Amino acid sequence: MRRIVLGVALLVLAACVPPEEPTGAEDFAAYCSACHGPAAKGDGTMVSGLTAKPADLTRLSRRNGGEFPKLRVMAKIWGYTGGRDGAAIMPNFGPLLDSPLVPYDSGDGRETPTPLRLVQLAEHIERLQE
Ligand code: HEC
């Protein structure tokens, strides 16, 4: 009997574990590298057709006095999904928003519930800083 209870408990637990989310690097490759380039240098294959040059995302910290501009990056990738920017060149990253919300402090000392995949993307870009 005890074994059955344990088995059921394990099944219930397994059902509660959320499906695995892609990593920040995987999402970057899928959603960003066409424009920003595989190493985020701003040299993706789609660059020639764009009216503005995609940013070199490896130099964000250097251009910001040595500090990674967390808030600006998050506003950029989250803001675009919200469609606030009418002249957006970057596409809508809707699927990234469907991930579970996690607390993320983008630099203002407040933990804002933020879609996990956006957090992972921002952290991936932060790791790429030169
Ligand atoms: C269709 C091409 C395209 C795609 C796809 C794209 N971007 Fe961009 N991105 C741009 C362009 C062009 C700019 C510079 C002009 C602007 O700011 O809109 C830019 C700017 C940015 C900036 C602002 C950099 C700064 O100087 O503050 C960030 C951050 C950024 N992109 C992140 C991303 C991330 C993360 C993804 C993937 C989820 C992504 N982009 C996908 C074209 C693209």
* Spatial distance between the Cα atoms of 122 and 77, rounded to a whole number of angstroms: 9
* Spatial distance between the Cα atoms of 29 and 79, rounded to a whole number of angstroms: 20
Instruction: For residue 18, give the amino acid letter.
Output: P
How far out from the chain centre does Cα 69 lie? 14
Query: For residue 81, which of 121, 39, 124 has the smallest C-alpha distance?
Result: 121
Q: Lowest-confidence range among 16-25, 35-44, 46-55, 62-71?
A: 16-25
- Rounded mean pLDDT of 108-114? 89
Please, which pLDDT band fits residue 81 given cuts at 50, 70 and 90?
very low
Report yes or no: 81 and 96 within 8 Å, Cβ to Cβ. yes
* Spatial distance between the Cα atoms of 127 and 57, rounded to a whole number of angstroms: 10
How far does the centroid of ligand 1 lie from the alpha carbon of residue 56, in Å?
9
Report yes or no: 106 and 71 within 8 Å, Cβ to Cβ. yes
Atom of ligand 1 nearest to the CA of 85: 18
**Residues with a CB atom less than 6 Å from ligand 1:** 31-32, 34-36, 46, 50, 52, 54-55, 57, 72-73, 76-77, 89-91, 93, 121
**CB-based contacts of 12: which residues, under 8 Å, 6+ apart?**
none
What pLDDT, on the 0 to 100 scale, is given for residue 16?
A: 64
* Spatial distance between the Cα atoms of 64 and 69, rounded to a whole number of angstroms: 7
How far does the centroid of ligand 1 lie from the alpha carbon of residue 22, in Å?
20
Average pLDDT, the chain: 84
- Rounded mean pLDDT of 60-66? 96
Report yes or no: 121 and 96 within 8 Å, Cβ to Cβ. yes
